[in-house]
Structure 1
Amino acid sequence: MRLRAWWLALCAGTALAQPLPELPDPDRLAQQLLGGERGAAVVAIARGAQTLRGTASLPAREIAADTALFEIGSVSKVFTGLLLAQAVERGELALDDTLGQRLPRQAAGTPVAGLTLRQLVTHSACLPRTLAADGPEAVAEIRTLTAPQLWSALPQLALAGQPPCAPRYSNLGMALLGSLLAVHYGQPWETLVRERIAVPLGLHDTVQALDAERRARMLPAFDGEAMAPLWDMEAYAGAGALRSSTADLLRFGQAILAGREGPLGPAAERLLTPLGRYAGGEIGYAVLVLGPPERRVYLHDGLTGGYRTLWMLMPEGRQVLVASASNARAALPSLRGRVLAALFPVPSEPVAVAPAQLAALAGEYRSADGTPYRVLVHEGVLYARGGPFGFAPLVPVGGNRFTRPERGLLFQFDTTAEPAALTARQGGTEQQARRTARAVSGMAIPAPADVADAVGRYRLGSGAEFRIRAEQGQLIARLAQQPAFAVFARPGQRDRYFYEVVPAELQFERGADGRIGALVLHQNGEHRAERVDAAP
């Protein structure tokens, strides 16, 4: 009866809520999420009693949107956060409890003894992402590390500073929290999830271990064109071990939106309570909190070796979105950006700006966490790039404000500050940055026609293929099964682009007809790749 009551209350409340801007069609979102990669994508949106579903697959096939299973990766952290919220609500644990207090046998006397549960669940514990460095070693650690191995590694662990530190995403921190909960209650983390969350909410397909029937319903996993293995975990279970379905994750989100009157009681509200700042927004019990109080969005995404998942709650409008793809290279960051741009739109109507005003804004700006924002003027237009992304034109909308409407990004410049300041607002987040003394040089804005000409497929003599695509005027290059990276135009050298991540360059070659027919990779020599698609 209790489950039925909260479900009816949730549906009844929908009609009274002011809806958010309409989200894109789920079928279109699924196509965008898969991004031309092999595998399948499922997108489901619940609005009260209504559920919309979309699917995409390559090669095309029928996808059972409700019953298909996938690894949800770091969305599992939300379940760990909820277990902690339940424990705090009951008075069984406190946010300021330390590992040394709660794990005296495992953690006392180690560098992590003073870390609090609050710091673990908000990624402010000064911990690295994993014990190992990034790369294959970190992946192997996540998949194979046992609890005894985790405890034995703690005495040698070095913290990045004196806690609490500025937020720094840590799978290790959530692994420690999940392991602590298992020790505290004397049950495996998976059992806690099943008995305290999955069974009460009727989440029949949210599991860590797969039986034969559920294993058969897992969407085949890929990393690019290659098949990918499933990720089983032990010590890192609380950071990313769950498998689930869109139907389960929708129901999970709706139970949380039901608040204290729902089946989770006050722990649902506690889960979403902001505990600190994180990446331009806030963070609750492992849940990212975006937007102002009157328009909150709560979310988490997840990545394993063969899956990408986004889980998002929108209390205004009583909406839950779940998007998952069975390819680790699916375009989840782009999809997330598109959805947030729809939820937090920015002005797009341009106004006239004097050239002198643009020149005063150029330069490099850096946020407190070190993120660089580079701004330059090209042919009377202000361009900007942040982090690893390429330059994109900005729309002047008045008052030293410039936007990228398709990304929901707004830059507000303050030239009266000393040094000049930049505020970047996007998708419910806000970052402050100050201008540095460094000039923006060494990069150029390529002509749109040159970018379009380069898009295509090129094959090296070894048989490996380059795939070149464009996003908002930025060339993206991917060689065979390697990750895709942005490449940047060399000033004064048409069709010459360089990588920032490795010492390598690409030179596109044009024939007598002006069309690009090949590229040359300059890295430890010259490697020619002939174009294998039709040049535009």
Structure 2
Amino acid sequence: MKKSIFIALALLFNFQVKAQDSKISTEVKEYIQSRVDNQMNVGIVVGYINGDTIEYYSLGKTAMENGVAVNEASVFEIGSISKTFTATLLALKVNSGEMNLDDPISKYLPKAVKGPTRNGKEITLKHLATHTSGLPKLPDNLESRNPKNPYVDYTYKDLYNYISNHELKVDIGSVSEYSNVGMGLLGHILELQSGKTYEELVIEYIANPLQMNDTRLVFNEAMKNRLAKGHEGLLETENWDIITLGGAGGIRSTASDMVKYIQANINSESIDSKLHNAMSLAHKSAYKNEEQRTEMALAWHIENGKFLLHNGATGGYSAMIALEKSGKRGVIVLTNSNQSIDPIGIKIMMPTYPLKPILPSIAKVLEKEIIDNGVEKAIVFYKSIKTEKPNDYNFQVEELNALGYKFLAEGKKEIALALFKLNVAEFPNESNPYDSLGEAYFEIRNQELAVKNYKKSLELNPGNDNARDFLKRLNVEVKEVVVSKEMLLSYTGKYELAPTFKIVITTKEGRLFAQATGQPQFELFPSDYNKFYLKVVEARVQFYANDKGNIESMTLFQNGEVIPGKKVE
């Protein structure tokens, strides 16, 4: 299951700045070593620019099985970092007078396509570029025949149907809500305006001028030969071919090319004047919401008024880019794993940020036990070592999950089933183990238990679209909950979960929002009349009334923790 990872990045650039080293520190290199050694990431490549100094650091392989060493020429998917390319292309068109940020999208769409409006207001190009269009993260007609490559068969006809029929639930321009479909639409509008494909635009206006010869949407032969294969957990997975929504996340690149891109962004006066001016426009603050604690340039997220940053994730890759123009510094971190590498980039840019030690993987130890002694004895071993040495290994939920999928891919279904059952027993309040167990039961043709576990997964995390889609495919009814405005209003107020940590609940236009201390505001979605979930992270909240029917408390469920809070205002 994929999670939105940007929120974790955006909240971490709040550490004190101190004098910066011109080199990647030994601490960062040792941290990268521990991540690779303990199978969190298969390969990691870092490019760091500090003034005129450029340094690369690479570790790991292009594939878990039979891979070669990764380096700055290895090819990765950069996911949503592609959005910053889209913003630069838009800025080029704006500066040339061909387009205007305030142009409505209807100016460029085919006449048969009716763009969504709300209260007489139209979506503009600026709204798309700042995630303030009111469009959601993904289109609801994205129903891929291949979950491992979910965008490959999404067509322009699908996009047009979605745009023509979507009803906005929030006023345009009122809030920032991260939208892949919005940025993908912007990329397509650039295609319609220019008569060129999005890839052709990227190559002509950015890649060729900066000599980024390995930055493309479609692999050429040279890129294929240097591809770092994507991995989901311990397993190789398919590349994501994103064409229709390419402006949202379709680009593949290398650390070497991305260093050139960073240099152009932080030293833009040294490049072609048109590209320089476009990058400067894309960097300017274009939307700020104090209530949400959000500031956006065009596609770029602005943190602390000085950092420009973005990250990206596809099925088997994660990436992160950050710039500090005033200090002429920047970093790109790429990995061929779906484990976020944001802490690496943050640590390089903010040396005071504490890196959490990486414990040895219990999955590696357990796999050997299974091979040597069988799964039943290995499970006994796992339970004993977790009891006797709980701090010696990484026992997080992802460990058993990844190992289970490895055995499932090898056709060893009974071993995988036993590991998924163990994971459910060890983490009964986590959604993902039930999702995986459901998949294993489906693989052995036990539809009844597959449905039961997918339902439980969805109950624990109503934002689990994988479970929702699976149940719908089996014609199992999935309840959609609507909560009245009056009931939503009763939940508003401030809840104290700790002396220094509070959550403020507000409502707007029939939608409920939560804002924790020091964090942006996020929407809550109902799974029951008093139960809600977030889509940006796997978390739930539940509200409780006293015997008089007045709401007096709430509980936050996240990362296996149950945190109650009293209503104080």
How would you bin the TM-score normalised by the shorter chain?
0.5 to 0.7
2:56 aligned partner: 53
Letter in 1 for 2:317: Y
Distance verdict in 2 for CA 1:282–1:475, change over 3 Å: farther
Query: For residues 35 and 117 of structure 2, what CA distance do their matches in structure 1 show?
Result: 41
What's the CA shift for 1:21? 5.8
What's the CA shift for 1:29? 5.2
What's the CA shift for 1:215? 0.7
Are the equivalent residues in 2 in contact too, given 1:146–1:235 (CA < 8 A)?
yes
Query: For residues 80 and 291 of structure 1, what CA distance do their matches in structure 2 show?
Result: 23
TM-score by length of 1: 0.61
The alignment covers a number of residue pairs equal to: 372
Query: For residues 198 and 391 of structure 2, what CA distance do their matches in structure 1 show?
Result: 41
Distance verdict in 2 for CA 1:115–1:406, change over 3 Å: same
TM-score by length of 2: 0.57
Are the equivalent residues in 2 in contact too, given 1:189–1:237 (CA < 8 A)?
yes
The question of 1:476 aligning with 2:487 is answered no
Unaligned runs of 5+ residues in structure 1 are 1-17, 346-404, 409-450, 484-494, 505-522, 525-536
Question: CA offsets per residue over residues 257-296 of structure 1, 9 Å max, x none?
Answer: 123453222112111111113763421110111123xxx2
Query: For residues 19 and 51 of structure 1, what CA distance do their matches in structure 2 show?
Result: 17
What's the CA shift for 1:323? 0.8
Query: For residues 152 and 287 of structure 2, what CA distance do their matches in structure 1 show?
Result: 30
Question: CA offsets per residue over residues 373-408 of structure 1, 9 Å max, x none?
Answer: xxxxxxxxxxxxxxxxxxxxxxxxxxxxxxxx6279
Letter in 1 for 2:25: P
Which secondary structure state, in structure 1, belongs to the residue aligned with residue 397 of structure 2?
strand
1:24 aligned partner: 25
Query: For residues 139 and 102 of structure 2, what CA distance do their matches in structure 1 show?
Result: 24
What's the CA shift for 1:470? 8.5
The question of 1:198 aligning with 2:207 is answered yes
Are the equivalent residues in 2 in contact too, given 1:466–1:477 (CA < 8 A)?
no
> Which among 107, 122, 139 is matched to residue 101 of structure 1?
107
2:47 aligned partner: 44
Which secondary structure state, in structure 2, belongs to the residue aligned with residue 95 of structure 1?
coil
The question of 1:130 aligning with 2:144 is answered no
Are the equivalent residues in 2 in contact too, given 1:43–1:321 (CA < 8 A)?
yes
Question: CA offsets per residue over residues 89-130 of structure 1, 9 Å max, x none?
Answer: 112111111111222525336448811111111111111111
Distance verdict in 2 for CA 1:310–1:162, change over 3 Å: same
Are the equivalent residues in 2 in contact too, given 1:144–1:234 (CA < 8 A)?
no
Are the equivalent residues in 2 in contact too, given 1:73–1:242 (CA < 8 A)?
yes
Letter in 2 for 1:477: V
2:527 aligned partner: none
Letter in 1 for 2:43: A
Letter in 2 for 1:128: P
The question of 1:161 aligning with 2:170 is answered yes
> Which among 258, 262, 279 is matched to residue 268 of structure 1?
279
Query: For residues 87 and 476 of structure 1, what CA distance do their matches in structure 2 show?
Result: 48
Are the equivalent residues in 2 in contact too, given 1:69–1:243 (CA < 8 A)?
yes
Q: Aligned ranges for residues 201-240 of structure 1 at < 5 Å? A: 201-240=210-249
Q: Aligned ranges for residues 168-183 of structure 1 at < 5 Å? A: 168-183=177-192
Are the equivalent residues in 1 in contact too, given 2:144–2:151 (CA < 8 A)?
no
What's the CA shift for 1:171? 0.7
Are the equivalent residues in 1 in contact too, given 2:43–2:70 (CA < 8 A)?
no
Q: Aligned ranges for residues 274-423 of structure 1 at < 5 Å? A: 274-277=285-288, 280-292=293-305, 296-328=306-338, 330-339=339-348, 341-342=350-351, 345=352, 406=354
Bigger drift between 110-119 and 458-467 goes to 458-467
Query: For residues 134 and 401 of structure 2, what CA distance do their matches in structure 1 show?
Result: 36
Query: For residues 393 and 45 of structure 2, what CA distance do their matches in structure 1 show?
Result: 28
The structure in which a higher percent of residues are strand is 1
Query: For residues 155 and 120 of structure 1, what CA distance do their matches in structure 2 show?
Result: 16
What's the CA shift for 1:223? 0.9
Are the equivalent residues in 2 in contact too, given 1:19–1:316 (CA < 8 A)?
no
Query: For residues 139 and 148 of structure 2, what CA distance do their matches in structure 1 show?
Result: 11
Distance verdict in 2 for CA 1:158–1:207, change over 3 Å: same
Distance verdict in 2 for CA 1:289–1:139, change over 3 Å: farther
The question of 1:80 aligning with 2:86 is answered yes
Unaligned runs of 5+ residues in structure 2 are 1-17, 406-424, 435-452, 455-569
Question: CA offsets per residue over residues 165-191 of structure 1, 9 Å max, x none?
Answer: 321111100110000000011110100
Question: CA offsets per residue over residues 15-54 of structure 1, 9 Å max, x none?
Answer: xxx9646653463354356462362111111223322111
Distance verdict in 2 for CA 1:140–1:212, change over 3 Å: closer
Query: For residues 433 and 237 of structure 2, what CA distance do their matches in structure 1 show?
Result: 29
Q: Aligned ranges for residues 450-529 of structure 1 at < 5 Å? A: 457=366, 461=376, 476-478=396-398, 479-481=400-402, 499=429, 501=431
RMSD of Structure 2 on Structure 1 (CA): 4.0
Letter in 2 for 1:207: R
> Which among 255, 268, 274 is matched to residue 246 of structure 1?
255
Are the equivalent residues in 1 in contact too, given 2:114–2:163 (CA < 8 A)?
no
Distance verdict in 2 for CA 1:311–1:96, change over 3 Å: same
Are the equivalent residues in 2 in contact too, given 1:45–1:51 (CA < 8 A)?
yes
Are the equivalent residues in 1 in contact too, given 2:140–2:162 (CA < 8 A)?
no
Bigger drift between 157-166 and 183-192 goes to 157-166
Bigger drift between 75-84 and 225-234 goes to 225-234
Query: For residues 184 and 21 of structure 2, what CA distance do their matches in structure 1 show?
Result: 37
Which secondary structure state, in structure 2, belongs to the residue aligned with residue 200 of structure 1?
coil
Letter in 2 for 1:406: P
Query: For residues 66 and 336 of structure 1, what CA distance do their matches in structure 2 show?
Result: 16
